[in-house]
Amino acid sequence: MELFVPLSGMNGSQINRFGGKAEMTEGRGKNGMTSKDSTSETLAKGLRILDIFGVENAGYGLSQIAALVGLNKTSVYRYVNTYCELGYLERDESARRYRLGARTLALSLSILEKSDMVRQVRDLVDKAGETYDLHVDVGVVAGDAIYLIHRRESNDTKVFRSFSYGSEPYYLATGKAAMAFMEPRALDALLDRLTLTPKTEKTITDKAALLEDLRQAARKGYSLNREEFVPGLIAIGAPLFSLRTGKVVGGVSFDSSTERHSMEEFEERFAPYLVELAKKISALVSL
């Protein structure tokens, strides 16, 4: 059954099944910022450095940080030294790498423990995960990235490296679910900013092929991930919307190992439950 209008048929007044327009990051710059007149570019540059530390647990050297954020080593050195002094980063002297510091971890835990929205989402997700014995991820969109706010692991997925911060949402089920319901202009702008590099041999790195994949997701109401992030890991993802604005705010996914389920079986068996879970979570994130 076709639940959504394909991307090619969407326009500025397109209505999704949640009762509003599907938009994400339209009118924003490369860093997800709206206007230089009302924001601090210096602060944004510094925060870009913190952003990368959700990806690599082993940490980064100074040259790696500079290359990833597009700043010179002198500027990066000042930023990371300041972060180390304040406790947001720490330096491993033996490995000459920087990692997240205690102060950043404390802030993260405080958000996760004290947020009413996260607590309510956790209750819903944990119940669904227990009922269906599945791995469940919930991520929220900010700028061009999708951030994990809650994860419920299952035994068959614990061996996999899962995302904690996805700066490139095209290889994540949650990210593709959100991308599928963006306004066409915003989606084109996002794809222009992204470099579609492969994470596995099955990652979609051709723009036309990715757009077709997103159109299929829009028609179905959920995305499919066929080992595009990690070999042996498949997923289905559904978009989360703000019921007040109609905008895409994130995604939720069910994940499984290929040893446990085939993609076809996984989709047929669990996609309807995922879509219903996404509706319930959308009601919570809209409060």
pLDDT tens, residue by residue, 218-270: 999 999 999 999 999 999 999 999 888 888 989 999 999 999 999 999 999 99
Cβ proximity of 178 and 248 under 8 Å: yes
Residue 21 lies in a domain: yes
Domain boundary residue among 55, 74, 105?
A: 105
Task: State whether 41 and 181 are in the same domain.
Answer: no
pLDDT of residue 150: 87
Q: What is the per-residue pLDDT for 33?
A: 53
Secondary structure of 225-274 in the HEC alphabet?
Answer: EECCCCCCEEEEEEEEECCCCCCEEEEEEEEEECCCCCHHHHHHHHHHHH
Query: Is the domain of 257 the same as that of 188?
Result: yes
| Same domain (yes/no): 162, 253 | yes
- Boundary-marking domain end, from 55, 77, 105: 105
Which domain CATH number covers 250? Answer: 3.30.450.40
3-state helix, strand, coil in the chain (%, to 5): 45, 15, 40
Q: Say how far apart CA 248 and CA 116 lie, in whole Å.
A: 20
Nearest to 97 by CA among 64, 71, 55, 49: 64
Residues of the chain with pLDDT under 70: 1-37, 54-57, 112, 161-167, 286-287
139 and 58, same structural domain?
no
Vertex 135, ends 196 and 246: CA angle to 5°? 65
Beta bridge partners of 91: 98
- Are both 93 and 159 inside the same structural domain? no
| Chain mean position to CA 176 | 9
Write the single-letter amino acid at 90: E
Q: Which residues contact 147 (CB under 8 A, 6 or more apart)?
A: 54, 139, 140, 141, 165, 166
Domain that holds residue 211: 7-31+109-285
Determine the pLDDT at residue 236: 98
Mind listing the pLDDT tens digit for each residue in 71-90?
Answer: 999 999 999 999 999 999 99
Residues 6+ away with beta carbon under 8 Å from 209: none
Task: Give me the number of domains the chain comprises.
Answer: 2
Do the beta carbons of residue 99 and residue 59 sit within 8 Å?
yes
Q: Of the candidates 29, 264, 282, which has an alpha carbon nearest to the alpha carbon of residue 140?
A: 282
237 and 121, same domain (yes or no): yes
Together in a domain, 193 and 269:
yes
Looking at residue 68, its pLDDT comes to: 87
pLDDT the model gives residue 81: 94
Domain boundary among 55, 78, 105: 105
